[in-house]
Amino acid sequence: MNQKLKIWNDFLVDKFQDVFKGKKLPKLVMDFANGAGHEVAMEVLTRLGFEVEEHNTEKDGKNVNVKAGATYPTYLSEKMQSRTNAIGFAFDGDADRCIVIDEQGEIVPADKLMAAFCLFKGAKTLISTVMLNTGIQKYLEDRDIKVIRTPVGERYVVEEFHTGKYGKNVVMGESSDHLVFPEFICASDGLVLVLSTLKMIVESGKSLHETVKPFPMWPSILKNVDFEVKGGEYYQDGARVLIRKSGTERLWRILVEGDTREKCEEILSQILGSK
């Protein structure tokens, strides 16, 4: 094994072995998207005592992310329906993104996961992006947890953390299932998310489903259009509207979130109807 990978693996095992030693551990069902994260994850998790059911591990350079992993979470979610007391994790091809699936086969939104980490770690600040669900923001702010929104992009989240204004005990990440744990590495890493999620479950004594259930999310609609829409953020009839130009595609992204889906659909229809 590459020496740098060995150092990283040993580092993670050292950081988490006391957390899991002698504990009853959940079974893991993991989809590796035929990508880069398989070998490292399996070595670390096996050394820590976890039983792992592996899926999509046969990379050939062409099948990465093909109906697999975080870009196709339906695959793992369906597999989880017939498993008992197991937790699912789906990486993307380069293993920086990880979708989490609870014991009931339900995909856990990253926004709920970030809220859970805030309470578990006693963090007083969540640094996320403008895509963070407003229901989660209001829930945290009602509990005196500050929510900082940055432009979309992990680099902006990390840059905000590095201003030093919030101390070290913060939760950071994006709604796109990229979470950052600066106590380990200042970049999103699927395996670190897996280990941190398992630590939260083992130490709290709660199932993952129970852990994330209390966090309310506003219904939302995200629509991509190939024509220009006046950008910005505003509130209409109590709903939040965010319109921004994509940084990766020739698209405009329209996000509408409110207390009912019907309201979101009506406002979106008004936006599109004005074009």
Domains of the chain: 3-109 (3.40.120.10), 220-273 (no CATH)
The Cα angle at residue 178 between residues 80 and 100, in degrees rounded to 5 = 15
First-to-last C-alpha distance (Å) of the chain: 56
Say if residue 139 is exposed, middle or buried (CB neighbours under 10 Å; 0-12, 13-18, 19+): buried
User: Residue type for 169, please?
Assistant: N
Which ranges constitute the DSSP H helices of the chain? 3-20, 38-47, 74-80, 110-121, 134-141, 154-161, 190-204, 208-212, 261-273
Question: Is residue 224 a contact partner of residue 246, using CB atoms and an 8 Å limit?
Answer: yes
Residue 85 token pair: 């007391």
Quote the pLDDT of residue 196. Answer: 98
Q: Give the side-chain half-sphere CA count within 13 A for 40.
A: 24
Pick from 32, 40, 37: which is nearest to 90 by CA?
Answer: 32
**Full-model pTM:** 0.93
- Please say whether the beta carbons of 15 and 184 come within 8 A: yes
Q: What is the pLDDT along the chain (275 residues), one digit of tens a residue?
A: 688 889 999 999 999 999 999 999 999 999 999 999 999 999 999 999 999 999 999 989 899 999 999 999 999 999 998 888 899 999 999 999 999 999 999 999 999 999 999 999 999 999 999 999 999 999 999 999 999 999 999 999 999 999 999 998 999 999 999 999 999 999 999 999 999 999 999 999 999 999 999 999 999 999 999 998 888 999 999 999 999 998 888 999 999 999 999 999 999 999 998 75
Question: What's the pLDDT score for residue 275?
Answer: 59
Task: List, in order, residues 6 or more apart from 24 with CB less than 8 Å away.
Answer: none
Q: Which residue matches tokens 């913060």?
A: 170
Contact 105, 196 (CB under 8 A): no
The set of residues, in sequence order, having a beta carbon less than 8 Å from that of 113 and lying 6+ positions away, is 100, 179, 197, 212
Q: What is the distance, to the nearest Å, from the Cα of residue 79 to the centroid of all Cα atoms in its chain?
A: 20
What local confidence, expressed as pLDDT, does residue 2 receive? 83
Residue from 4, 180, 30, 171 nearest 92 by CA: 30
> Helices 38-47 and 3-20: crossing angle, nearest 10°?
40
Angle between helices 110-121 and 134-141 (to 10 degrees): 10
Strand partners, 55: 31
Q: Which long-range contacts (CB under 8 A, 24 or more apart) does 136-139 make?
A: 136/111, 136/112, 136/215, 136/216, 136/217, 139/115, 139/215, 139/216
Relative to beta strand 239-245, strand 252-257 is antiparallel
Specify the pLDDT at position 240: 95
